[in-house]
């Protein structure tokens, strides 16, 4: 097979936004295509804002209708009232959230257009059902929608790589570098021609440099006849088993089954299979925080437009030097400082105060090999006192065992601080450039909707 960049088209814009006014046609489809863009650019003001859930439920309830833009569909009015009721339930926690206010105004406009009464029956949201045969991969799915099948029989099999992020947070890159990082705020993990992954890390304790992942956004870009563009978003205490539009596969294209979400453990563990790019993603919620792991072909990893400007693509280049934490230096300085920092604070997970010895004993219960996953577990217990970080390290290693292609490299023992030239974060506001990155990605989605 030739170069992926030549044979695989990167992004196809989706048309269909028809305007938003009382005289517009098919406005519901247009409005609710653009809502995920607002959700992406303007995240919820608090993690309790459930506008994403309301939007997904409405989309799931109406996406199967062929009469979305007509006034003769009482089911649409019922779905609108149900959606309005959902937004009212979350109004208190969504105060100041642009996506929420956009949805509220959009609902009012659609009710006028479709002559819907605000008083009337509502319904329970239903999951979007897949057409017969979509629960499994279609036998007639295009060959290009199955990455491994697109290789000729006598070609060398693809080389797979792994990246993972977990805990406080600890990063294992595609090149098996292992680092412990600060990276507070929004940072891109993956940014290539086929998908974007961004995480948001927030302090575990008030005023502490210890952070953990509370939000994850994955954007799968539209690809040939395989998949439509899809957005997956998880937040603390909300790990959905569907994309932002309520669907569980790649959309309406012929090869849509080459992208699908499977819920392994409700609210705790989901897996996304993107067979058209040979990629598997695992997202977990462990305790209050999220973990991320991916298996991806090297060809896809390196499919970037301008490799020299990928300095903040963490899975590829690692954390900037000024964002890295040296575990050995921390250990020598920890002592009473960590205990003093936690003294008097009440955490949701009822933390304990660990010494280095008791932290090692606790981590040894789940991680008998004293590798970097074990050391990360110890580090997290010392900095947070939250025993759930023990499980985060344990499951991160379980994901490595499942996703890493080289079984001789499962355990790592030496941390990495080497960086490629230019991989430094701006001082003062390290999250400014990643924030710009996600805004541009979302704006590109917005532009494609308007076309």
SS3 80: helix
Would you place residue 445 in the very low, low, confident or very high pLDDT band (cuts 50, 70, 90)? very low
pLDDT digits (tens, 9 = 90+) for 402-433: 999 898 899 998 765 544 444 444 433 444 43
Q: Sign of the CA dihedral 208, 210, 213, 219?
A: positive
pLDDT digits (tens, 9 = 90+) for 134-154: 433 444 457 789 888 876 555
pLDDT digits (tens, 9 = 90+) for 323-336: 898 766 665 555 44
**196 strand-pairing partners:** 191, 219
pLDDT digits (tens, 9 = 90+) for 42-78: 444 444 677 887 887 787 777 654 444 444 467 888 8
Q: Are the C-beta atoms of residues 449 and 40 closer than 8 Å to each other?
A: no
d(C-alpha 223, C-alpha 394), whole Å? 35
Quick check: pTM over 0.85?
no
pLDDT digits (tens, 9 = 90+) for 68-114: 444 446 788 888 888 888 888 777 777 777 778 888 888 888 888 88
Residue 433 buriedness (CB in 10 A; 0-12 / 13-18 / 19+): middle
Cα of first residue to Cα of last residue in the chain, in angstroms, is: 33
């Amino acid at each position: 097979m030739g170069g992926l960049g030549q044979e695989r088209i990167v992004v196809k814009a989706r048309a269909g936004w028809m305007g938003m006014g009382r005289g517009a046609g098919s406005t519901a489809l247009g409005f609710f295509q653009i809502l995920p863009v607002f959700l992406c650019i303007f995240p919820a003001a608090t993690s309790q804002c459930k506008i994403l859930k309301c939007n997904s439920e409405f989309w799931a309830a109406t996406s199967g209708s062929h009469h979305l833009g007509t006034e003769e569909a009482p089911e649409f009015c019922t779905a609108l009232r149900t959606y309005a009721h959902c937004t009212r339930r979350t109004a208190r926690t969504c105060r100041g959230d642009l996506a929420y206010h956009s949805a509220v105004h959009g609902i009012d406009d659609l009710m006028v257009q479709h002559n819907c009464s605000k008083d009337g029956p509502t319904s329970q949201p239903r999951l979007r059902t897949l057409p017969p045969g979509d629960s499994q991969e279609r036998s007639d799915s295009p060959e290009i929608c199955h990455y491994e099948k697109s290789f000729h029989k006598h070609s060398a099999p693809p080389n797979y790589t792994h990246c993972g992020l977990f805990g406080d947070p600890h990063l294992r890159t595609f090149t098996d570098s292992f680092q412990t990082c600060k990276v507070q705020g929004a940072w891109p993990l993956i940014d290539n021609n086929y998908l974007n992954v961004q995480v948001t890390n927030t302090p575990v304790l008030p005023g502490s440099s210890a952070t953990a992942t509370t939000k994850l956004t994955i954007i799968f870009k539209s690809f040939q006849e395989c998949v439509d563009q899809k957005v997956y978003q998880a937040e603390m205490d909300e790990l959905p088993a569907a994309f932002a539009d309520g669907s569980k596969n790649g959309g309406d294209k012929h090869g849509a089954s080459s992208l699908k979400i499977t819920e392994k453990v409700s609210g705790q563990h989901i897996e996304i299979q993107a067979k058209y790019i040979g990629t598997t993603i695992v997202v977990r919620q462990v305790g209050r925080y999220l973990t991320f792991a991916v298996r991806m072909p090297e060809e896809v990893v390196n499919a970037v437009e301008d490799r020299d400007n990928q300095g903040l693509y963490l899975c590829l280049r690692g954390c900037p030097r000024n964002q890295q934490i040296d575990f050995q230096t921390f250990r020598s300085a920890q002592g009473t400082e960590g205990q003093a920092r936690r003294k008097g604070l009440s955490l949701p997970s009822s933390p304990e105060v660990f010494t280095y010895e008791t932290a090692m004993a606790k981590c040894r219960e789940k991680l008998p090999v004293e590798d970097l996953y074990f050391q990360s577990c110890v580090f997290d217990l010392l900095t947070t006192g939250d025993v759930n970080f023990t499980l985060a390290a344990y499951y991160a290693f379980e994901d490595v065992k499942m996703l890493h292609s080289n079984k001789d490299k499962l355990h790592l023992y030496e941390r990495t601080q080497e960086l490629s030239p230019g991989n430094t974060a701006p001082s003062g506001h390290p999250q400014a450039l990643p924030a710009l990155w996600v805004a541009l990605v979302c704006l590109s989605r917005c532009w494609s909707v308007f076309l």
